[in-house]
Amino acid sequence: MSSHFGTLFRISTFGESHCKAVGVVIDGCPSGLKLTEADIQTQLDRRRPGQSRLTTDRQEADRVTILSGTENGVTLGTPIALKVDNLDQRPGDYGDMATIPRPSHADYTYLAKYGIKASSGGGRSSARETIGTVASGAVAAKILTEKYGVEIVAWVSSAGPYRATEVDHQTISRAAVDQNDLRCPDPETAEKMRTLITSLKEAGDSTGGIVSCVIRNVPAGLGEPVYEKLEAKLAQAMLAIPATKGFEIGSGFAGAAMRGSEHNDPFVMKEGGRLGTITNNSGGIQGGISNGEPIHFRVAFKPPATISQPQQTVNYAGTSQVLQAKGRHDPCVVPRAVPIVESMAALVLVDLALRQEARQALHFDS
């Protein structure tokens, strides 16, 4: 496994679907930060299953407990261990899995990797693992907000064939996103998505979607060329989220069809005496380093692999089988993926911010 992430703000997550608890240890959180369970619970609640009729019927309270690292509601600078107990475990739901690897799920590859079949299949690959990411991401985000005023807002920009209208990167807020349970700030498109997802749920099918994200007020200078460029770390972080298939930043794939003369972002002096750019095809990053403009990117999610329609496949022995899954799963993960994307972004940024602070502290004015 590689369940750790970060160089100075370093997380180490744990937990599968059916163990006693899932959680995370945060090593390197600055001291003096006011932090209680409530700061973390908000994002966990946005992530948890059963929060709306669009998601899985599984009900998981997902209450976080701080085991260490704070005293009187303030961080000590020592490791912060966060734990969420697993309450609703029903391994029995996964009966056929012992002999049939589920198509496009991780049963087969986990067996290839670990040589062992867990009752929950690729249990560690389940969305439940993301609790540790979201819990630690909430801490990271709080640091970024309090130190730099960073704002991270993600939303559902597409589901199946429906694509939301463009949002204003300067003003979009989590409150606006949460106005519907699709987390799509375009109400009209959200309604179409709802209809689609509801019908897919009944049909035992699923759909993919896209989560967009904007990050405002990132100080210029974050990102560690060459191999930890800001967009490279964001790409890694986003593709580490279950079910993701693509990442694009700024102009993205569309930029590949553009000319330099239209793609280049000319500089201009902005208010506060800050050098900024008129357009933002760069997505807030140039040469792997933030330039102070809003960072914006999109993450593609495939349709969930677990569907309740019968599927023609083979068992481990290679014999033809019809698999009919019984587990309770989301027909579309993107609404619940919104806080995961935000959390991953926060984890990337806080680590790079710490590294840049170290550099600046030892810079020589020669």
| Binding annotation for NADP(+) | 47, 53
The number of residues making up the chain comes to 366
* Residue (58 or 108) nearer to a copy of itself, CB: 108
Q: How far is the CB of 50 from a copy of itself (least distance, A)?
A: 20
Cα 281 to chain centroid distance, Å, stands at 23
Q: How far is the CB of 96 from a copy of itself (least distance, A)?
A: 13
CB of 299 closer than 8 Å to CB of 245: no
CA angle 332, 334, 339 (to 5 degrees): 140
CB of 323 closer than 8 Å to CB of 311: yes
Q: How far is the CB of 88 from a copy of itself (least distance, A)?
A: 16
Residue ranges in 97-136 that form contacts with a copy of itself under rule CB under 8 A: 101, 103-106, 108-110, 112-116, 118-119, 122-125, 129, 133
* Residue (25 or 152) nearer to a copy of itself, CB: 25
Q: How far is the CB of 175 from a copy of itself (least distance, A)?
A: 25
Residue ranges in 268-327 that form contacts with a copy of itself under rule CB under 8 A: 268-269, 273, 275, 277, 281-283, 285-292, 298, 300-307, 309, 311-314, 316, 318
Q: How far is the CB of 93 from a copy of itself (least distance, A)?
A: 16
Asked if 63 touches a copy of itself (CB under 8 A), the answer is: no
Residue ranges in 244-273 that form contacts with a copy of itself under rule CB under 8 A: 244-253, 255-261, 263-269, 273
Strand duo 285-286 + 289-290: pairing: antiparallel
Asked if 183 touches a copy of itself (CB under 8 A), the answer is: no
Asked if 359 touches a copy of itself (CB under 8 A), the answer is: yes
Bridge partners of residue 312, in order along the sequence: 322
Asked if 161 touches a copy of itself (CB under 8 A), the answer is: yes
Point out the annotated binding site: 47, 53, 124-126, 287, 302-306, 328
How many residues touch a copy of itself (CB under 8 A)?
166
Three-state SS for 93-106 is: HHHHHHCCCCCCCC
Asked if 94 touches a copy of itself (CB under 8 A), the answer is: no
CA atoms within 13 A on the CB side of 327: 25
CB of 276 closer than 8 Å to CB of 301: no
* Residue (83 or 169) nearer to a copy of itself, CB: 83
CA distance 33 to 70: 9
* Residue (33 or 177) nearer to a copy of itself, CB: 33
b/e code 52-78 from CB counts within 10 Å (16+ = b): eebbbebebebebebeebbeeeebeee
Residue ranges in 208-227 that form contacts with a copy of itself under rule CB under 8 A: 208-210, 220-227
Asked if 71 touches a copy of itself (CB under 8 A), the answer is: yes
> With the CA atoms of 71, 75, 79 and 81 taken in that order, what torsion angle do they form, in degrees rounded to the nearest 10?
70
CA distance 350 to 32: 16
Asked if 31 touches a copy of itself (CB under 8 A), the answer is: yes
CA distance 26 to 13: 9
Asked if 237 touches a copy of itself (CB under 8 A), the answer is: yes
Point out the annotated binding site for FMN: 124-126, 287, 302-306, 328
